[in-house]
Amino acid sequence: MRELTVTTIRAKPLAAKLFAPYGEVIYPRAAGTQFDINPYDPETGAEEASLILTNGTPRLWIMHLKKNGLVFRKLARHRRVTQCLGSLQGKEWFVAVAPPNDPGDGTCPELAGMAAFRIPGDCVIKLHVGTWHAGPQFLHDECLFFNLENLDTNKRDFESYDLPNEFRIAP
Strand 6-13 relative to strand 115-119, pairing: parallel
Q: Is the dihedral of CA 48, 88, 128, 93 positive or negative?
A: positive
pLDDT tens, 2-13?
567 899 999 999
Percentage of residues in the chain having pLDDT higher than 90: 71
Residue 79 Cα distances to 67, 75, 100, 106, 111, angstroms: 27, 13, 9, 10, 18
Q: Is there a contact between 127 and 83 (Cβ–Cβ < 8 Å)?
A: yes
- Beta strand segments in the chain, E: 6-13, 23-26, 58-66, 71-77, 84-87, 93-98, 115-119, 124-127, 132-137, 142-150, 159-170
The rounded mean pLDDT for the chain is 91
Highest mean pLDDT among 7-11, 46-50, 55-59, 150-154: 7-11
What is the C-alpha to C-alpha distance for residues 56 and 151, in angstroms, rounded to an integer?
Answer: 7
3-state secondary structure of 96: strand
Chain center to CA of 98: 11
Complete domains list, the chain, with CATH = 7-27+50-170 (2.60.120.480)
The pTM assigned to this predicted structure is 0.90
**pLDDT tens track for 124-155:** 999 999 999 999 999 999 999 999 999 988 88
63-116: pLDDT as tens digits: 999 999 999 999 999 999 999 999 999 999 999 999 998 756 667 899 999 999
Coil vs helix vs strand at 113: helix
User: What average pLDDT does range 32-45 have in this prediction?
Assistant: 73
